[in-house]
A and B are shown apart, each in its own frame.
Chain A
Amino acid sequence: MNSISAKFVINLNALLIISVVLLSFKVSGQIARGKLLSQDIPGCIDSFFIDRKMDLEKLRSTSDFLTNRHITTYQSQILPKRKKAFKRHVKHLNEFAEQCFIDKVSQNMELSETIYELYLLDQSFKNKAISNASKRVSIAEKLNMLYSTLRSRQAFKYKIPTNEQFDLDQAIAEPLESPFYHPIDSGRPMHKQFAYLAKEKKVKQRENMVLLYRPSELDGSVPKINALDINLDDKWNLKWGDEIHSDIIGSRIFAALGYDVDHPYIYGENELTLVFDEETNVNSHEDLKEMIQGHYKIDLSPFISNHGTVSTEMAAKNKKLTPFVGKPFVQFVKCGIEARPDRVKRLGSFLPADSINANRRELNGALLIHHFIGNWDTKEANTLLSTVHLGNHMYRISGVFSDLGASLGVSRSWIRSDFKAGLINELEWKAVKKKGSKIIFTNRINAILPAYANAEYEDLYWMATKLAKIDEYNLKKIIRKAHLPKPVSELYFNKLASRRASILEAFEISDPNPIKFDNKISISENGVEVVKNGKLICDYNRNSNPESFTSRKGRYRNYGN
Chain B
Amino acid sequence: MGTNWLTFIFVICLTSFYSLGQIEEQRKYKTNSIEQLFNFISSSQGTDSLRFHNHSDYNYFDLYLESTNNILVENGLSLRFRKREYDSITSPTYSFQLKSEMDSEHSFRLEVEESELYFYLLKDDTSWVSITSILDTIFHNLEYNSSFLTSNDYLSSLSLLNSWIKFKYNAPVEPFQEMRYLNLDITDLEGLRPILYGKTARSRSHIYLDNSCSTQEEFNKIDKGDLPVFFQKDSSYNWILESSFDRSCFRSIEEEDVECIYLTEFEVENKYYNSHVGTEYMNHLERFLEDNFNTEMILDSKYRQALNKMK
Contact = CB atoms under 8 A, between A and B. Distances in A.
B21 interface: yes
B137 A12 contact: no
- Main SS at interface, chain B: mixed
B171 A1 contact: no
Given A70-B18, A232-B225, A393 B136 contact: no
A11 B153 contact: no
Interface in A1-52: 1-2, 4-5, 8-14, 16
B132 interface: yes
Interface stretch (A91-99, A165-173, A198-206, A249-257): A91-99
B224 interface: yes
A11 B123 contact: no
B18 A393 contact: no
14 contacts: A2-B137, A5-B134, A8-B137, A10-B129, A10-B133, A57-B170, A66-B172, A67-B172, A90-B172, A91-B119, A95-B119, A98-B171, A231-B225, A233-B225
B187 interface: no
A72 interface: yes
A68 interface: yes
B172 A63 contact: yes
A269 interface: no
Given A5-B137, A69-B21, A64 B221 contact: no
Given A9-B133, A11-B127, A279-B221, A60 B171 contact: yes
A90 B172 CA distance: 9
Contacts of B153: 1-2, 5
B256 interface: no
Contacts of A63: 171-172
Interface in A204-237: 228, 231-233
Given A60-B172, A94-B171, A99 B181 contact: no
B54 interface: no
A486 interface: no
B116 A67 contact: no
Contact of A88 (B116, B130, B171): B116
B121 A12 contact: yes
A99 B128 contact: yes
Nearest to A90: B172
B123 A102 contact: yes
Contacts of A70: 18, 177-178, 181
B150 to A, nearest CB: 13
A527 to B, nearest CB: 53
A260 B123 CA distance: 39
B140 A94 contact: no
Nearest to A278: B219
Given A60-B172, A90-B172, A232-B224, A4 B140 contact: yes
Interface of A: 1-2, 4-5, 8-14, 16, 57, 60, 63-64, 66-70, 72, 88, 90-92, 94-95, 98-99, 102-103, 228, 231-233, 278-279, 323, 393
A38 B157 CA distance: 41
Nearest to B114: A91
Given A5-B153, A72-B18, A91 B172 contact: yes
Interface in B215-235: 219, 221, 223-225, 232, 235
B120 interface: yes
Contact of A60 (B130, B170, B223): B170
Contacts of A94: 171-172
Nearest to A3: B153
B128 A92 contact: no
B7 interface: no
A216 B178 CA distance: 32
A95 B120 contact: yes
Contacts of B224: 232
A67 B137 contact: no
A4 B137 contact: yes
B223 A232 contact: yes
Given A9-B129, A16-B119, A1 B157 contact: yes
Nearest to B154: A2
A125 to B, nearest CB: 14
Nearest to A279: B221
B47 interface: no
Highest count of chain A CB atoms <10 Å: which of B116, B171, B172: B172
Nearest to B218: A278
B156 interface: yes
A98 B224 CA distance: 39
Nearest to A280: B221
Contacts of A4: 136-137, 140
A13 B128 contact: yes
A555 B118 CA distance: 51
A68 B172 contact: yes
A12 B128 contact: yes
Contacts of A11: 127-128
A29 B22 CA distance: 38
Interface string B145-166: 0000001010011000000000
Contacts of B119: 12, 16, 91-92, 95, 393
A8 B156 CA distance: 15
Contact of A13 (B116, B121, B172): B121
Contacts of B177: 64, 67-70
Given A67-B177, A95-B121, A279-B221, A12 B136 contact: no
Contacts of B170: 57, 60
A387 to B, nearest CB: 16
A94 B178 CA distance: 18
A95 B172 CA distance: 9
Contacts of A9: 127, 129, 133
Nearest to B131: A12
A8 B130 contact: yes
Highest count of chain A CB atoms <10 Å: which of B120, B134, B156, B225: B225
Contacts of A88: 116
Contacts of B121: 12-13, 95, 99
Given A12-B119, A95-B119, A99-B128, 13 more contacts: A4-B137, A4-B140, A5-B136, A5-B157, A8-B129, A8-B130, A8-B132, A14-B128, A64-B172, A69-B21, A70-B178, A91-B172, A103-B123
